[in-house]
Amino acid sequence: MMSSFLFRAMDARAGIFMAILGAAIVLVPAGNLLVPETSPFHVPTYAVTLMGKYLTYALLALAVDLVWGYCGILSLGHAAFFALGGYAMGMYLMRQIGTRGVYGDPILPDFMVFLNWQELPWYWYGFDMFWFAALMVVLVPGLLAFIFGWFAFRSRVTGVYLSIITQALTYALLLAFFRNDMGFGGNNGLTDFKDLLGFDIQADTTRAGLFAASGLALVVCFLICRALTRSKLGKVLVAVRDAESRTRFLGYRVEHYKLFVWTLSAMMAGIAGALYVPQVGIINPGEFAPANSIEVVIWVAIGGRGTLVGAVIGAVLVNFAKTWFTAALPEIWLFALGGLFVFVTLFLPKGIVGTFSQGWTALRQRKISAAYEAGSDEPPTAPPHSPGAPANVTIPKPSAPVSGAAEPQPAE
């Protein structure tokens, strides 16, 4: 059962993707650690960290694609799960500082000493152990998502309303984490980390290791998402996305399905956050900003929603562009990003990968149908179709005038 489940995850496209990612996981750290600095193939440490950061973003985008691309839940609050995972990791890293902090307190992190706290708040207990922190990295975002989703999906909050309350959720957390008495370092967040599992966090080897870990996490999560979306469950998710009430009338409990992927997705976002924090060396409430969540959505949209690979490509491309622009033309970056939002929604509604594979599928389909009509007695076998990508007919051409198909939603 399990093997067939995982076997389903593989096909040509997934294979290529995994091969590239696998190569990166091996080559980038090798290029950093083994190749001498004088060689043109040497990868500088800052680049390793930067790419590691991109990979965690890619994982976050993957999580968003799972719920948005396949289940139609547009989350404008996924950065909240990302940040919560990050905070869980940050708390572990804080506890590892020990007496090396500015105030040298063996238990209390610096900011607590600074605020004159006498003892560690109860919710900081256990974070000195890595396994506990690692568990919290998935449990805390997962639990929040579960509770939130339990209420939201059961009362059938959908579409834009859901998007808006996810945004309110992350906004509320943003405000909460800014408060000093929450015990998470307030405005400044958690920083000045020293080591992770005993390895110096600044060391090249640790950096390379974190890069590899991010890549591995991405591969594993990609495989899980891939297997999941190609299972019957994945088909149900797409059914929910396209015709929710029809799915209900078929006897599927839509809220259970939504809750399942929503929670899973939040956990993935939490893992992404946990890998992000040691690489950038800080986690602060700014990560909860609603703008961050929306930006993730645009990575997915650019890469192609409902394609998984697209989410990863989109995240890496946009962030690469961001790094380049903010260094070279900081004034232009917001124009470019804003323009990208508009351009993609208007002219590239299926994103890069979606547009490519649409052409590919259409080509294959034509060949198969032609062969069938030409008298082949073998009915065509299932062509590679991507249930994630929305059906052809639903894309109105941007140049078409407003027609019956493109009506404003009635006031609801």
Partner 1 sequence: MSLVRTFILLFGLIAGFSVNIAIAQTDPESLRPLVNELAKGKYAETEKQIGALVATGDPAVAPALEALGAGVLFYRKSDGSVFITEKAGKTYKLTDPLTLEAKGEAGKREVKKIKVNNKLRRVIRAALGSLTLMAPDPEVRKTAAEAVFKARDPDSIEALDIALASETDESVQLIMEQARAAAVLNSDMDEAQKINAIETLSEMGNRDALSLLINVQSSSEGVVRDAATIAVEKIEKSIAAWDSAQNIWYGLSLGSVLLLAAIGLAITFGVMGVINMAHGEMVMIGAYTTFVVQELIRTSAPGLFEYSLFIALPLAFLASGLVGIAIERGVIRWLYGRPLETLLATWGISLILQQAVRSIFGPTNREVGNPDWMSGAFELGQMTITYNRMWIIVFAMLVFAGLMLVLKKTSFGLNTRAVTQNRRMAASMGIRTPWVDALTFGLGSGIAGIAGVALSQIDNVSPNLGQGYIIDSFMVVVFGGVGNLWGTLVGAMTLGVVNKFLEPYAGAVLGKIFVLVFIILFIQKRPRGLFALKGRAVEA
Partner 2 sequence: MARSTSLLYLDGVSVSFDGFKALNELSLTIAPGEMRAIIGPNGAGKTTMMDVITGKTQPDSGEIYFNGAVDLTGEDEASIAELGIGRKFQKPTVFESHTIWDNLELALKAPRGPFSTLFHVITGAEKKRIEVLLDLIRLGGKRNELAANLSHGQKQWLEIGMLLAQDPKLLLVDEPAAGMTDAETAETAELLKDIAKDHSVVVVEHDMVFVRSLGVKVTVLHEGSVLAEGSLDHVSADERVVEVYLGR
Does residue 336 bind partner 2 (CB under 8 A)?
no
Interface with partner 2 (CB under 8 A), residue from 179, 256, 366, 367: 256
Report the residue from 39, 245, 326, 345 that binds partner 2 according to the rule CB under 8 A. 245
Please tell me whether residue 172 binds partner 1 under the rule CB under 8 A. Answer: yes
Q: Which does 365 bind (CB under 5 to 8 A by kind): partner 1, partner 2, none?
A: partner 2
Identify which range of 46-54, 101-109, 164-172, 274-282 contacts partner 1 by CB under 8 A.
Answer: 164-172
Q: Does 223 bind partner 2 (CB under 8 A)?
A: no
- What are the Cα distances from residue 252, in Å, to 71, 162, 235, 302, 409? 14, 20, 12, 31, 26
Q: Residue 111's closest CA among 179, 171, 199?
A: 179
Containing 196, the helix (H) or strand (E) segment is strand 195-196
For residue 304, give both structure tokens: 């192609």
% helix, strand, coil for the chain, step of 5: 70, 0, 30
Letters for 129-148 (x = contact with partner 1 by CB under 8 A, - = none) are -------------------x
Helices and strands of the chain, counted as H and E runs: 15, 4
The single residue listed with the structure tokens 């396994």 is: 131
Among 328, 342, 374, 382, binds partner 1 (CB under 8 A): 342
Taking CB within 5 to 8 Å according to partner kind, which of partner 1, partner 2, none is near residue 327?
none
Mask for 261-300, x = binds partner 1 (CB under 8 A): -----------------------------xx--x--xx--
Q: Which two tokens stand for residue 285?
A: 């409430």
Considering the complex, state which of residue 95 and residue 241 has its C-beta at the smaller distance from partner 2.
241
Binding residue (CB under 8 A) for partner 1 from 32, 56, 163, 247: 163
- CB-facing half-sphere around the CA of 213: CA atoms within 13 A: 18
196 has which bridge partners? 199
Q: How far apart are CA 162 and CA 153, in angstroms?
A: 9
Kindly state the number of chain residues that form the binding site for partner 1, as judged by CB under 8 A.
55
Per partner kind, with CB cut-offs from 5 to 8 A, the member of partner 2, partner 1, none near residue 260 is partner 2
142 makes contact, choosing from partner 2, partner 1, none, with CB < 5 to 8 Å by partner type, with: none
Nearest to 361 by CA among 12, 91, 113: 12
Report the nearest approach of partner 1 to the CB of residue 65 (Å): 14
DSSP string, 215-284: HHHHHHHHHHHHHHHHSHHHHHHHHHHH-HHHHHHTT--HHHHHHHHHHHHHHHHHHHHHHHHHHHTEE-
Contact positions toward partner 1, by CB under 8 A? 74, 148, 151-152, 154-161, 163-165, 167-169, 171-172, 175-176, 178-179, 290-291, 294, 297-298, 301, 331, 334-335, 337-342, 344-346, 349, 396, 398, 402, 404-412
